[in-house]
Amino acid sequence: MQVFEAIQSRRSFRKFLPTPVSRSDMEEIMHVSVHAPSAQNQQPWSFYVCQDSKKIQDLGQAIEEIAFEQMPMLRQRKEHLGVHNSIFFDASTVVFVAKTTSPKMPTYADFDCGLATENVILAATAKGLQCIPVAGPIFFGQSLIKEALAIPDSEQLMLAIPMGYGDPAGRAADYQVDLAAKVHWI
């Protein structure tokens, strides 16, 4: 798949099939994804690729309990999505994005992590996979995830990317982008 096609065809998915993603596909995706631009080439990111379905399930369940306690309305969202777990949407693989807590250029470190994250998303799309970047699991479960994945104190979790073979029912709704309002020609 060409880059233009990957960018244009990508959509977020909030429901995944149980079909596992091969380790070799994930290795290819991560191999290209770390080649992202960053301020002063600081590369402030670390990726944690979890394909341990029990770990994903256990974490998803524990974080869901916290999320439901703090935001009861999320229960309805789960019912609407029709997933077993609404934190990782039943994905068989989750890539966690972390940022060093002592970057050389702190102002741009989040930006750098975002660029590398988009690489993961586009590379997964090019491989015929679907995914979604989500902040929710980190908001509710930062310390749980860090402990379960043995992520050091020198890193802060930023985002999770559940990925796999998307259930068509979980494809995000279409929306319009106002090109003229977003791109200004001088």
Ligand X SMILES: Cc1cc2nc3c(=O)[nH]c(=O)nc-3n(C[C@H](O)[C@H](O)[C@H](O)COP(=O)(O)O)c2cc1C
Residues that bind ligand X (CB under 6 A): 11-12, 14, 132-136, 159, 172
Cβ 122 vs Cβ 10: under 8 Å: yes
CB of 94 to ligand X, least distance (A): 13
Coil, strand or helix at 15? coil
Which lies closer to ligand X via its Cβ, residue 58 or residue 110? 110
H-only helix segments in the chain: 3-9, 23-33, 53-70, 74-81, 106-126, 136-149, 179-182
CB of 24 to ligand X, least distance (A): 26
Q: Could you write out the three-class secondary structure of 20-61?
A: CCCHHHHHHHHHHHCCCCCHHHCCCEEEEEECCHHHHHHHHH
CB of 159 to ligand X, least distance (A): 6
Q: How far apart are CA 77 and CA 33, in angstroms?
A: 31
Which lies closer to ligand X via its Cβ, residue 135 or residue 169? 135
Which lies closer to ligand X via its Cβ, residue 11 or residue 104? 11
DSSP class of residue 134 equals: B
Residue nearest to ligand X (CB): 136
CB of 137 to ligand X, least distance (A): 7
CB of 62 to ligand X, least distance (A): 17
Which lies closer to ligand X via its Cβ, residue 126 or residue 132? 132
Which lies closer to ligand X via its Cβ, residue 73 or residue 150? 73
Question: CA angle, corner 148, sides to 136 and 60, nearest 5?
Answer: 40
